[in-house]
Amino acid sequence: MAHSIELIFDAETDATITSQWDALTAAGLPSQGRTRSESNRPHVTLIAADSIDGSVDRDLATLTDLPGMEVNIGAMLLFRGRRATAARLVVPSSELCDLHAHVFELSRGHISGEPLPHIQPGAWTPHVTLARRLADDQIGYALTTLGFAPEIFTATVTGLRRWNSDTREEFYLL
């Protein structure tokens, strides 16, 4: 499992995304809402790697202007592999891409191995995951359940957290 550094949102955004998780669950579909953990909440992954040392927290704590940043949550996305992942796009503004690149650089010396390829600047697609492991025959039903064109809305970033998947701990940095 990967360790990660993530943006977290205000309560209103959490409620909006959680309601979409709940709709998928109620429809009998895979959903991030099925994850049974107190740390399960909507987020945008900035960095993911096999391991991220906790010493990164000191460097990330310098991002004091991050809380209050606004991002636009946009259209539905599907990432395809053996199974599909349904997500909401987080519109990649220049401010968000600059933040991502900065966090990537701050994290570089604290990561064991290479960061996952899809998370590197220029290859990163900011998103909030709604469901993983959708079978081909579930994709249309999931999109219908959520609506093909959910309303775009503005979310407020309230902070940054680091997730350690080995210990199943979250560390709020801002």
Q: Residue 59 belongs to a domain with what CATH number?
A: 3.90.1140.10
- Domain membership of residue 111 (yes or no) is yes
- Integer Cα distance of 16 and 25 in angstroms: 15
Range of the domain at 90: 3-163
pTM: 0.93
Contact yes or no for 130/17 (Cβ under 8 A): yes
- Domain membership of residue 170 (yes or no) is no
pLDDT 10s digits, 5-14: 999 999 999 9
What's the pLDDT at 165?
87
Structural domains counted in the chain:
1
- Domain membership of residue 171 (yes or no) is no
- Domain membership of residue 172 (yes or no) is no
- Domain membership of residue 173 (yes or no) is no
What's the pLDDT at 149?
62
- Integer Cα distance of 88 and 127 in angstroms: 5
- Integer Cα distance of 79 and 101 in angstroms: 22
- Domain membership of residue 120 (yes or no) is yes
pLDDT 10s digits, 74-120: 999 999 989 999 999 999 999 999 999 999 999 999 998 777 788 99
- From the CA atom positions of the chain, what is the Rg in Å? 16
Contact yes or no for 120/109 (Cβ under 8 A): no
pLDDT 10s digits, 24-73: 999 999 999 888 777 789 999 999 999 999 999 999 999 988 899 999 99
- Domain membership of residue 145 (yes or no) is yes
What's the pLDDT at 36?
72
End-to-end Cα separation, the chain, in angstroms: 24
What is the bridge-based pairing of β-strands 127-134 and 84-90?
antiparallel
